[in-house]
Structure 1
């Protein structure tokens, strides 16, 4: 039997991170779970044990805190003596026009998504280089390749994650068994949309086609074994990226009216909220969100628009 891997997952309390941790557990790996909230991590640990993890280690960690990430990596090494794969999934969202999102919330998105990824790389890559093998896989987004309305902070953070991947690959080409992986999901049914900070007046929802966290996690885990697989997780991503890159004027005319219809719920107005950007909200952590059927949601939004009733 193969030796179980030591797999560290950030953002392991919810959504893609939780699904990935459970998938690693199902493969019989040692799983190190990191996220901000202890209660949600404990629940995730129970799921991993039930799935068949070789062992579990819970380390509450704010990835935006460099010292906390250093302590996380240290705890994993103290327990296992090595890291075979680190999957960086931690992420938060803020909705709102660039000028409408408060500075602390805007910076909070960058702190978790981009600075958190840098912090993970800063402390993981030296370990992999000392071992002369191992994998760091960063979970980006289709939105790291395009622009969309009312998500400036998230867009900037995910473009930054993709740039970080490129830099790390250049800097580590001398060690062929140290791999820097990257995946870009499209719409995934996770709680990130309803947990988001919101200054746009509408609740976000995953745009179609919508994948399950479990399916996305399986695709992530496949890339640990086959790192040359494409980063984009759906063919729809490639179509959208092509339009944004090669037909920018057409894309810009389409995305502005489509985004509210396909990626929000115009029937559910909401007031300003910091969501889970500045602090964990354990009550909202779960494997999946509850966006309803994507097509039904689009139909509802079109009806809302035709009635002329838009949230202010």
Structure 2
């Protein structure tokens, strides 16, 4: 397997491309000459992303809910009709949900898992046959800093992001064993300045004051710009890296977790 992917002339699918990290990834891919199929439920946001990219590459936009099993299953044919092939799939679409396990209903928990975990699995299953037809291809799954550590109040989000990490690593090992040309990258963004904190849902049992306190706390940690994050991630795709830590905070926290795999929260949870 080649150690580097030249993105010029390639075709990439990016979910969650209407804003934030997804938009930044799409723009960084396009700057490198990569054609992009952009997917999101937010059609207005998708239109803005397309306008920002311009006409330097072929860009298509598609309304897609990754929680919709049938829509995801039909999506590869749509992309093939528009672009002819697929070299890169970036599973970035995701939502946030705050609340302890006791505060979340089963329906709330399942809502997040259906998007953040099952959406990644559905997209991977749908597009892997197309990726395997290419001489060189990359599947890119976004986990999180909370796929490395699990803070209180993030039981659903951490469950999904740890699962994305585990799924990606197991799939990578399976593809390596099968001598596949498809590589798998798992991405762990730290605090990136997107709308994820302000747009996060809270469990119905979470009080208004507690919800505002959680949003304020996490908003303070969002320091890296989406553009910086997008460049880091796309550079990781070019290098076909197995793991990409996005931001200084992600690198520091990953190191602490390695040193203190059970007791890390005694250190990281101070001052909360």
The aligned residue for residue 292 of structure 1 is: none
* Alignment match, 1:32: 37
Consecutive unaligned residues of structure 2, counting only runs of 5 or more, are 1-5
Match of 1:303 in 2: none
1:191 maps to 195
Question: Closer, same or farther in 2 for the Cα pair 1:248/1:162, shift >3 Å?
Answer: closer
Q: Does the alignment pair 1:201 with 2:211?
A: yes
Q: 1:132 offset after TM fit, Å?
A: 4.4
| 1:178-237 Cα deviation digits (max 9, x unpaired) | 111111111000001111012342242345472110001001111221013752223432
How is 1:146-225 mapped onto 2 (pairs within 5 angstroms)? 146-173=149-176, 174-198=178-202, 199=206, 200-202=210-212, 203-204=214-215, 205-206=218-219, 208=221, 210-225=223-238
Task: Evaluate the alpha carbon distance shift between residue 43 and residue 133 of structure 1 in structure 2; reply closer, same or farther with a 3 A threshold.
Answer: same
The alignment's TM-score, normalised by the length of structure 1, stands at 0.76
Shift in alpha-carbon separation, 1:29–1:241, aligned structure 2, 3 A: closer
How big is each residue's C-alpha offset from its partner over 1:24-73, in whole Å with a ceiling of 9 and x where there is no partner?
Answer: 22222211110112222122221222xx4411111100111121112222
Single out whichever of 140-149 and 176-185 deviates more from structure 2.
176-185
Q: CA RMSD in A?
A: 2.1
Q: Which runs of 5 or more structure 1 residues have no equivalent in the other structure?
A: 261-312
1:253 maps to 2:266: yes
Deviation string, structure 1 residues 90-127 (Cα, Å, up to 9, x no partner): 01001111111232222111111100000111011111
**Aligned partners of 2:192 and 2:61: how far apart in 1?**
25
Runs of 4+, deviation exceeding 4 Å: none
SS in 2 for 1:228: coil
8 A Cα contact 2:186 2:242, kept in partner: no
- Please give the alpha-carbon distance, in whole angstroms, between the structure 1 residues aligned to 2:88 and 2:262: 41
- The verdict on how the C-alpha distance between 1:2 and 1:88 changes in structure 2, with shifts beyond 3 A counting, is closer
Residues 249/118 of structure 1: CA separation in 2 closer, same or farther (3 Å cut)? closer
Query: Of 100, 104, 107, which aligns to 2:107?
Result: 104
Q: How far apart, CA to CA, are the structure 2 residues paired with 1:133 and 1:252?
A: 40
1: CA distance, partners of 2:232 / 2:93: 17
Show the counterpart of 2:3. Answer: none
Structure 1 CA distance for aligned equivalents of residues 90 and 162 of structure 2: 18
Which secondary structure does the structure 1 equivalent of 2:245 belong to?
Answer: coil
Aligned mates of 2:159, 2:193 — CA distance in 1: 22
The number of equivalent residue pairs is 257
2:120 alignment counterpart: 117
After TM superposition, the score normalised by the length of structure 2 is 0.87
Instruction: Say if 2:122 is the partner of 1:141.
Output: no
CA contact (8 A) 2:66 2:72 kept: yes
CA-to-partner distance for each residue in 1:254-312, whole Å, 9 max, x for gaps? 34444x4xxxxxxxxxxxxxxxxxxxxxxxxxxxxxxxxxxxxxxxxxxxxxxxxxxxx
Residues 184 and 139 (structure 1), Cα distance of their counterparts in 2 relative to 1, 3 Å cut: same
